[in-house]
Amino acid sequence: MITLSLVCFAFFSTFSQGLQKVKEKSKNPNRVFTYHVLENSQVKEGAAEIQYKGKLGFREKGQFSQGNRSGSWEFFDFDNNLIQKYNYTSKEFEYLQNFNAVKAVYILKDQELVKIETGAIPVLLGGDAKFSYFFANNIFYPHAAMSRGATGTVGVMVTITKEGEMIRPFIPKEGDKALDAEALRVVSLMPNDWIPLYLNGEATDCLVLFYLNFHMG
């Protein structure tokens, strides 16, 4: 009974302060972030929504608790279809569409890259919608490549760490220098919103392969 009373007191004392609505806007990405904070505080609490504007815009919504994302967050594509539902408390997906941007996954074993064939992959929160959004709104056809009429597909590999960070992008098979440089530039803008690769229940560093297409007209 004492424990219950303390919990109830903490709950009501937190929300008795009241919540203030905050709306933040940014240009790159073109994002509107709506959330609530406790009065006289910058601590995020309660309902929140992030809307990404522009080509292939998408959105995500959920809850904050004591400044951190908590419970289930939902991610929607540009047609407002639910594509993911991730529970930050249990650290599990409650709904997950296929994430097709990742074309191959490798781990380093005995100083050699070994391809993962089980279908297990790291997942970008926001899925293909977020992946496509950042490329569609940031990629530019290099003038040097355009003047040469250079086109093609550029493969980019990156490391997704067991902490969910994307680091060390590189081109495994070099082609047109201008296209390769632009591909690396755009990949570097991708946010570190990754759920890492899990093997045998443990988060694992891995390398993933993306493809970016450059076509004129």
Write down the pLDDT at residue 17: 59
Write down the pLDDT at residue 217: 65
**Low-confidence residues of the chain: pLDDT under 50:** 1-16
Under 8 Å between Cβ of 186 and 134: yes
Under 8 Å between Cβ of 133 and 52: yes
Write down the pLDDT at residue 210: 94
Write down the pLDDT at residue 8: 39
Output the CA torsion 139→60→44→34 (10° steps).
80
CB burial string 182-198: b at 16+ within 10 A, e below: bbbebbeebeebbbbbe
